[in-house]
Amino acid sequence: MFKACVLIPVYNHQHAIGAVAASVLAQGVHCILVDDASDAACAAVLDALAAASPAQVTLVRHAVNRGKGGAVMSGFRQAAALGYTHVLQIDADGQHRADDIPRFLAIAQAHPQAVIAGCPRYDASVPKLRLYARYLTHIWVWINTLSTAIADSMCGLRVYPLAPTLALQNRRPFGLRMDFDTDAVVRLYWAGLHVVNVPTPVGYPSDGVSHFRPLRDNLLITRMHTLHFFGMLLRMPRLIGRHFGPRGPHMATDAEPQ
């Protein structure tokens, strides 16, 4: 069985979330909004969205901010409780294209045990420093997986199979803040899941709000890469063995379901 919904973690994106949610709902999918203790203005927008489409929108609310990873995991647990098998995660700031949702879900249905990971194709709005800094994380991910199977570990547009993701989270929680996206996809790869990389246009961002905190988040990301490196050393024989298996890195192309 394949049953998918869309998850949007939200923290103070009141100027963008209305348009993002409308574009998601236009794809005919159920949407879970996770309010990660937003301020009153954003909370009111989310309340209005849930009230306007009660059959299509589920609103989960945190009393205390838990970070992006904490919001995503709350959404995953809610999706599982509602009977969904897969969740497409998309950011609340409008940087992703909602009309990519059917394509991502079709690929996920064709590869139900894989992580379907967005591989950004940036427009001119991307800050150059941020673009170049991403490559440092890419290099560490390629080292820590001993492969280039994960083309981009930081993109917030991806589809997760719920059962293995929740099982891994229950054994040891993923990073709760801006380290979540990379931590989750690397550890799912270690656990044996394949990654299908899907090119997708990305812009930066429609409401001009970023919750990246340079000191805190760079320390968390550095700690994560360090732990991943030692985790890679422990898993090295198994990771090397994967290169001789029947499937390696995969980039979705026009031959994939559209």
pTM for this entry: 0.87
What's the whole-number mean pLDDT along residues 89-108?
95
* 94, part of any domain: yes
* 69, part of any domain: yes
Q: Does position 207 have pLDDT exceeding 60, yes or no?
A: no
* 258, part of any domain: no
pLDDT tens, residue by residue, 43-62: 999 999 999 999 999 999 99
pLDDT at 128: 66
Instruction: Please give the Cα distance from 50 to 44 (Å, whole number).
Output: 10
CATH number at residue 233: 3.90.550.10
pLDDT at 258: 34
- Please tell me the total count of domains within the chain: 1
Residues 6+ away with beta carbon under 8 Å from 32: 5, 6, 7, 8, 57, 58, 59, 60, 75, 78, 79, 82, 87
* 168, part of any domain: yes
pLDDT at 28: 95
* pLDDT-wise least confident of 79-88, 124-133, 159-168, 181-190: 124-133
What's the whole-number mean pLDDT along residues 17-45?
96
pLDDT tens, residue by residue, 100-123: 999 999 999 999 999 999 999 877
Please give the residue that has the higher pLDDT: either 94 or 30.
30
Q: Does position 200 have pLDDT exceeding 90, yes or no?
A: yes
pLDDT at 221: 83
pLDDT at 101: 97
Above pLDDT 90, what percent of the chain?
A: 71
* 257, part of any domain: no
pLDDT tens, residue by residue, 166-191: 999 999 999 888 789 999 999 999 99
* 256, part of any domain: no
Instruction: Give the structural domain span for 100.
Output: 4-251
Instruction: Please give the Cα distance from 191 to 165 (Å, whole number).
Output: 10
Q: In the structure, what pLDDT confidence band is assigned to residue 257 with cuts at 50, 70 and 90? A: very low
For the chain, give the mean pLDDT. Answer: 88
* pLDDT-wise least confident of 45-49, 131-135, 157-161: 131-135
Residue with tokens 């990971």: 117
Above pLDDT 70, what percent of the chain?
A: 86
Residue 109, both tokens: 């249905």
Please give, one letter per residue, the 3-state secondary structure of the chain.
CCCEEEEEEECCCCCCHHHHHHHHHCCCCCEEEEECCCCHHHHHHHHHHHHHCCCCEEEEECCCCCHHHHHHHHHHHHHHHCCCCEEEECCCCCCECHHHHHHHHHHHHHCCCCEEEEEEEECCCCCHHHHHHHHHHHHHHHHHHCCCCCCCCCCCCEEEEHHHHHHHHHHCCCCCCCCHHHHHHHHHHHCCCCEEEEEEEECCCCCCCCCCCHHHHHHHHHHHHHHHHHHHHHHHHHHHHHCCCCCCCEECCCCCCC
Buried b (16+ CB within 10 A) or exposed e, 114-128: bbbbbbbebeeebee
Q: Does position 250 have pLDDT exceeding 60, yes or no?
A: no
Q: Does position 214 have pLDDT exceeding 70, yes or no?
A: no
Q: Does position 7 have pLDDT exceeding 80, yes or no?
A: yes
* 61, part of any domain: yes
